[in-house]
Each structure stands twice: as structure tokens, then as C-alpha cells.
A and B are shown apart, each in its own frame.
Chain A
Amino acid sequence: DSGVTQTPKHLITATGQRVTLRCSPRSGDLSVYWYQQSLDQGLQFLIQYYNGEERAKGNILERFSAQQFPDLHSELNLSSLELGDSALYFCASSPRVGGADNEQFFGPGTRLTVL
């Protein structure tokens, strides 16, 4: 158990809908990362937050947004869902922003299926 929790584990929804994925980092970790893993695109980095502020942005679509709250949990919002958004969404946390301390602890992932 990495100490990172993600809810829900599975989510099935329809095209055009909006969903929210939630991530709670390990106790004390300030940095949260979001990744998408799909058969088509492989693993992609979406976005990173550090202590409530956006730190780095990857291949995140404009239909997607994220935030990190004062209690350090993070939410990833996916809207106007398309079939191609079906994927495994991972959250990871680490103690610091980057540099030498780059160990990340991953949650179990949320499997999103868009029908």
C-alpha cells in the first residue's frame, strides 16, 4: 500500500458527461501528479500541483482541469467526455517539487470507461 488513495476505482459514464476523480496523497506529501494510461496513447503526464499551486503541465486537454485543495487532496475534472478518454488515470504524490527527491508514490488508479 503506497499510502495514496484514489476514488472511485471504476467509473462508467457516457459521452458528453463530466466526471471528477479524486486523489489523496500520502500524509505530508506536498506534490501531486496526474497521469493517463490508455492503449492508444500509452502513459502520459497530465499535470502536477505543489502545495496548492500548479507546478507543471503536460498533455492535458482543455476539457480537463485539476486543482489541489488546502488539505492537499487533488481532483481531476474531465468534461465533455469522448470515447478516447477511456483510460486508467493515476495519481502520484511526492514530498517535494522535484530535483533530487523525485520518488513518487502511486495510487491504485481510476479506470474510466466512456460509452
Chain B
Amino acid sequence: AQKITQTQPGMFVQEKEAVTLDCTYDTSDPSYGLFWYKQPSSGEMIFLIYQGSYDQQNATEGRYSLNFQKARKSANLVISASQLGDSAMYFCAMREFNYGQNFVFGPGTRLSVLP
């Protein structure tokens, strides 16, 4: 069965520092996608980055990169040069492409960026 684990309920980082948010997953489907989303306190949901299970390179989008370690089933989000506006909830999610295309979300990590 699909499962996403985010072991860090809350994280603090100093402004301009890099931070890694952990995400591990479990699936038996060889074809899947991994997603990260950001939800600021205002409540909107923002898609950040996507990694496919067959992608050879780690995905990057500006200051966001996804550290994909397939053998360890981990998909950590790295935010470089943190900004105050990065303070938010971050959700990791997985979608299995062969088994019903369902999305499963992790419980989220609340990131606080300190000035």
C-alpha cells in the first residue's frame, strides 16, 4: 500500500541558510511520481516540484531541489538560501501510475524561517 512519512512535524532554519525536509515513501509500483507542495498560513496550496520514478536526475526548480534516493525510498526537499516567505507547511505526496493513480499525502512539516 502507498504510504508517505514525514518525520519532522516542525523545523526551524535561519534566514539565508539551506534546509532539508525529509520524506520517505513506500510503494510496490515501479512507476510513480513524487510531489512537494507548500501551504502558507494564508491557506493556499502551491505546487513546488515533481520527480518521476524513472527520472535519472534530481528535479530542481529555482531554490528548490528534490534529493531523490530511489533505493532508500526517500525524496527530501532541499530549500537553498531560505527566505522569510518560505515559512509554511510543506507536504510530500506520491502518485502511483499503475495502481489507480491515487495520490497519498504525508502529514506535513511546518517550516519556520528565523530572521
Contacts and interface: CB of A to CB of B under 8 A. Distances in A.
Interface of A: 2, 33, 35, 42-45, 48, 55-59, 88, 90, 92, 98-100, 102-106, 108-109
Contacts, number: 56
A45 B103 contact: yes
Given A42-B107, A56-B102, A102-B50, 11 more contacts: A42-B108, A43-B91, A43-B105, A45-B104, A56-B101, A58-B103, A92-B45, A102-B35, A104-B47, A108-B43, A108-B44
B89 to A, nearest CB: 10
Residues of B contacting A: mostly: strand
Contacts of B101: 48, 55-56, 98
Residues of A contacting B: mostly: strand
B97 A103 contact: no
Which 3 pairs show the lowest CB-CB distances between chains A and B? A56-B101, A45-B103, A43-B105
Given A44-B105, A45-B103, A100 B52 contact: yes
A33 B112 CA distance: 29
A33 B50 CA distance: 16
Contacts of A55: 101
Contacts of A105: 47
